[in-house]
Amino acid sequence: MTQDAMAQLVANTILQGSDAMYGRFLDVTSGAQERFEQQDWKSVQQALKTRIQFYDHHVGLVSQQLRAMLGKEHATRSFLMAVKAAYIKLLDDYPRYDIAESFFNSVYCRIFEHRNIRRDKLFVQSSQGGRIPKYPTPLLRRFQSQAGIYATLERMLDSTPFTLPWRDKSGDLKRITQILQQRFGPQLTMSFTIEMVRQPFFRNKGAYLIGRLDMANQRRPLVLPLLISDNGELYIDACITDSDDVSIVFGFARSYFMVYAPVPAALVDFLNQLMPNKTPAELYTAIGCQKHGKTELYREFLYHLDNSDDLFDIAPGIKGMVMSVFTLPSYGFVFKIIKDKFAPQKQMTHAQVREKYRLVKEHDRVGRMADTQEYRNFIFPRHRFSDALIDELLNVAPSCVSVTDTEVRIRHLYMERRMIPLNIYLEQASPDALTQAVQEYGDALKELAAANIFAGDMLFKNFGVSRHNRVIFYDYDEIAYLTEVNFRRIPPPRYPEDELAAEPWYSVGENDVFPEEFRTFLLVNPSLRDEFERLHPELFEAEFWQQLQHQVQEGYFHDVRPYSDALRLVKA
């Protein structure tokens, strides 16, 4: 077989693998409505994990197939460039070129074990110039106003695919009509259009109708979250029309949506119009295409590098015992690498740390755990690194970092949204901001626990404050399932001398946690302690945590809404 024929065969094999992967991705996604309507919340969580795992599974299958097809004589630059050229031709008019390019990159890196990575052999930038493919059916349904807001909304609602009965459809529509009239007034008395994505979005216990209002002189998002009542009836829980509020719904600390998207680029383009402050990387990730989100994030990073000149430096805050963190002051992400050696009190391996991050990726993050993107052999320009950072990295992770005159190469790292460390935020906070942060911190612990997650290391330095002032957990090396923790009360002292002893008078197991001790190691600041006691006294009680454990074990899934009570149709 000639080189060109073999290159064509390899290109076809990779694209077929990408198609197979995305086909299974869509198969799992297509079951989201049934899982929602049957309220099968356990299967919702399992489907999330299953769908994430498809990508690496299919990359492995294709890589194994290509290794069997090819010998070492094909690992030449000319052959690899011929494969890429053949692949680009296959992507002309191909509807999922974006996903296919990332899949190509993944297969290449898997075969060469992240060696021999050069931009000319990979799709570092897209070959398609950002074209937006057409949907096989129209992406949007349009509803032109004819007989007023209520009637237009009713037609929109009647077009949805749900099979459950409505609890009070007319009541919900009246409330939404009133809300829209209050927010937009005269603009809705004129001609307006509602445009909605045909396919609902599903996540956790909710479904979301997502679209926009097109009025005389402005466009606004229109997001309607749907829930199921105790009687098995649908109802609209909120009406969201502000881009910032929609952005929170699509936040980086939440699980990925299930939405049937045969042409993800077109859907992302529309979502970007609703949330102009979101990047393509964030939106691809939010709809479950997190591997292509990783590609887009890298592209956005390269663009930022080309349009900035500041230096990478050690991230502000208390240095971690397991991870070393650095950042670029002008950039909205941090870079985290695992140290070669951990502090003595950290009894774990590198593999265990990576497993913790994988657990978070596949778990319900309930808006309280930052998502990360994992990279290998990440290359930075040497001249953009401060000398202090170079010294730090070579000192704490010499096996992971190599430095030349022109490059800093890091064999394994995580990229994560940058936030203000909570300990720093609290030091600078006004009294009102401090109260809000303490409320958020306690809420974060409760919501994580309700999702079967115990943070482990609960120190403020392991949490961050987002631009929306939400407290989010981001240090995962001691994370555990809540059901694996043994919450205990401290036994009363046997004798007065027990309280003065250097060692506890009671036995302490490996997984034992004593919530009463949170006061001692978390709340040194008296004002913080007072606020915490006022807002979250139950967090000091073992019985509270045991009750949450029991609910998790019984299969109870808490409601964690990604929007404020102020946006709900009926306030809590």
Per the annotation, where are the binding residues for ATP?
315-321, 336
Contact 103, 21 (CB under 8 A): yes
Q: What does the DSSP assignment read for 338-353?
A: E-SS--TT----HHHH
Q: Could you say which of 98, 364, 371, 477 is catalytic?
A: 371
What is the chain's length?
572
Residue 371: active-site member:
yes
With H, G, I as helix, E, B as strand and everything else as coil, classify residue 463.
Answer: strand
Does an H or E element contain 254, and which?
A: none
Residues ≥6 apart with Cβ < 8 Å to 157:
169, 173, 209
Q: State the pairing for strand pair 463-465/201-203.
A: unpaired
Residues ≥6 apart with Cβ < 8 Å to 32:
44, 47, 202, 258, 259, 260
In terms of DSSP H, where are the helices of 168-242?
169-184
- Residue ranges for the binding site? 315-321, 336
Contact 29, 258 (CB under 8 A): yes
Q: What does the DSSP assignment read for 79-148?
A: HHHHHHHHHHHHHTT-TTHHHHHHHHHHHHHHHTTT-S--GGGTTSS-SSTT--PPPSS-SEEEEE-SS-
Contact 567, 239 (CB under 8 A): yes
Q: What does the DSSP assignment read for 317-378?
A: SPPPSSEEEEE-TTSSEEEEEE-SS--TT----HHHHHHHHHHHHHS--TTTB--EEEEEEE
The residues assigned a catalytic role are 371
